[in-house]
Amino acid sequence: MNIVVLLKRTFDTEEKISIANGQVQEEGAEFIINPYDEYGVEEAIRLRDNHGGEVTVVSVGGEEAEKQLRTALAMGADKAVLINTEDDLDEGDQFTTAKILTSYLTDKNADIILAGNVAIDGGSGQVGPRVAEGLGIPYVTTITQIEVNGKAVSITRDVEGDSESIQTSLPVLVTCQQGLNEPRYPSLPGIMKAKKKPLEEIELDDLDLDEEDVRAKIKTLDIYLPPQKAAGRLLEGDISAQVDELVGLLRNEAKVI
């Protein structure tokens, strides 16, 4: 089975985001594999181990994304592809990323493409479905279970705490939700092996794309942090006095009643 994982390098979930000159500051920040993409890598490895084939991890980004691609190789993926946009593009949006990935995947005949349900930074959840649309294949989002039997695919997807069962067929793109699996940590032998696994680097030119073809359709006007939340207030004393005080506060301070 030809399995592809779309992998995004994102801010570490522990990082405190800071903004200067209207830009999120990346300097000194730690980066990781987008956590939902880790589920994708783990599931891809399990599918390959059960059905045979090969796992390719693909990222659109700069040179720095090599680190996260190597981590996926250390987990057990077979090869990695970095589509390096550094020299060609200053800006990009979901359209840009999806168009680049679609162009790359067009002649790859992937049986299953696994993406994250959402990137924890950009967070639009658009890239996976856009790629599937571009390729003209079915997609199922927020999956928590997948079973492949020949060409038939049975999927369970999370629908806000409940679940839905879906039957589809290969080729398919799925987006991974928490609960799909428990991603493994790269082992020491895995890390050693990863150094020798192929990591191909290509550019827009190699995909017959130029800047115009992938120009962002979104213009970001402003980026700002949410306002600081004021500390909560605890009312004390007799319940009826608390109710009176609460009503007074809602009316006079919060001005919501």
Ligand X SMILES: Cc1cc2nc3c(=O)[nH]c(=O)nc-3n(C[C@H](O)[C@H](O)[C@H](O)COP(=O)(O)OP(=O)(O)OC[C@H]3O[C@@H](n4cnc5c(N)ncnc54)[C@H](O)[C@@H]3O)c2cc1C
Q: Which residues bind ligand X (CB under 6 A)?
A: 6-8, 34, 36-37, 59-61, 85, 89, 91-94, 96-97, 115-116, 118-119, 121-128
C-alpha separations of 196 from 58, 79, 98, 191 in Å = 17, 10, 29, 9
- Taking the complex as a whole, the smallest distance from the CB of residue 178 to ligand X amounts, in Å, to 12
**Residue (36 or 139) nearer to ligand X, CB:** 36
**Residue (125 or 186) nearer to ligand X, CB:** 125
- Taking the complex as a whole, the smallest distance from the CB of residue 5 to ligand X amounts, in Å, to 7
- Taking the complex as a whole, the smallest distance from the CB of residue 114 to ligand X amounts, in Å, to 8
Cα–Cα distance measured from residue 179 to residue 146, given in angstroms and rounded to the nearest whole number: 12
**CA neighbor of 3 nearest in space, from 165, 119, 99, 115:** 115
Cα–Cα distance measured from residue 138 to residue 127, given in angstroms and rounded to the nearest whole number: 14
Q: Are strands 79-84 and 54-61 parallel, antiparallel or unpaired?
A: parallel
User: Which residue's beta carbon is nearest to the bound ligand X?
Assistant: 122
- Taking the complex as a whole, the smallest distance from the CB of residue 162 to ligand X amounts, in Å, to 22
**Residue (48 or 99) nearer to ligand X, CB:** 99
CA gyration radius for the chain? 22
**Residue (88 or 245) nearer to ligand X, CB:** 88
**Residue (23 or 50) nearer to ligand X, CB:** 23
- Taking the complex as a whole, the smallest distance from the CB of residue 232 to ligand X amounts, in Å, to 32
C-alpha separations of 2 from 42, 183, 187 in Å = 15, 20, 24
